[in-house]
Amino acid sequence: MQQIALILACLLIGIILRWTERMPDSASKVMGAWVINVALPAAALHSLRGIEPTGRWWLAAATPWIGVLLAIVTIVPLSRGFGWSRQRTGALLLAAGFGNTSFVGLPMIAAFAGNQWLGLGIVIDLFGSYFALSTLGLVIATLAASEHFDWRFVIKRIITFPPFIAILIAFATDFLARPAWLDHLFSALADTLTPLALATVGFTLRPRDIAGHVSPLILGLGFRLLAAPLAILLMYLALGQASDPVAKVAILEMAMPPMLGASIIAMDHDLEPELVAIMIGIGVPLSLFTAWGWWTLIAPL
């Protein structure tokens, strides 16, 4: 509950800062830049230390990738059918395709499955959500924000993307001894991710914008909170593994609300930031109930 309270409090702080006009309109860009260039890389360098996925965990780690691909094949045709813009489609793919498998997902795992499964949650987050965001997510954002597609430009964006660089450094240096002060530094910088990312979302959130985004909001959150976890449940049922605790944790992680990092990237690329903010503002508290519903369904399997 402590982490959930922090999430809701940071959202509220961002809303209050906007409402009281204590920060300029450009503040969201500054806070978002810190998240992408400092907090996300620090989180990778801190959390990837000593992680060793084994056995069935690899399929669980692949589920966020599967979720993003399902979002593409589902949302893109529907967006075209509705006549929505490229920017709106990109915003939906980022906000609905990537789940918050860390700051909401890990407390959910502890609450429902138990602390012994937090290691699996971290593997799903880092090798699944985080790595997919640093590659496929950046491709989606770049394509949605630009009228012209240039593979060289996209590849350059990926290899110069600070979180992606941090992942490579973390893998390459994992065998090296690390002084305690450096671990503390990475941890302290990573701890700024949740407050700043959520405050940025709250600062961008305007309740009056809901009226103009009802249809994409329903589609995005419907996919994120209902369709995506259902797809992973059906996958594990087809494999005959739905009763495996690893599968249950993977399904629970897939039921998480929009990922903060993906949402910040969408905002940084100016992909309908109002829609993204609303999806998080509504999706986070709503997921507390839908995740409970999913766990109630899969726990007896």
Query: Residue 122 has what pLDDT?
Result: 82
Tokens at residue 119, please?
A: 């290691």
- How many structural domains compose the chain? 1
Domain presence at residue 11: no
Domain presence at residue 236: yes
Number of Cβ within 10 Å of residue 107's Cβ equals: 19
Domain presence at residue 77: yes
Domain presence at residue 301: no
Domain presence at residue 107: yes
Query: Residue 297 has what pLDDT?
Result: 96
Closest CA to 202 of 27, 3, 4, 41: 27
Domain presence at residue 227: yes
Which residue range forms the structural domain that includes residue 289? 2-6+28-188+212-295
For the chain, residues with pLDDT lower than 50 are none
What sign results for the dihedral spanned by CA atoms 76, 82, 86, 89?
negative
Query: Residue 7 has what pLDDT?
Result: 75
Query: Residue 75 has what pLDDT?
Result: 97
Domain presence at residue 196: no
Domain presence at residue 268: yes
Q: How far is CA 248 from CA 148, 154, 178, 234, 242, in A?
A: 41, 35, 34, 12, 7
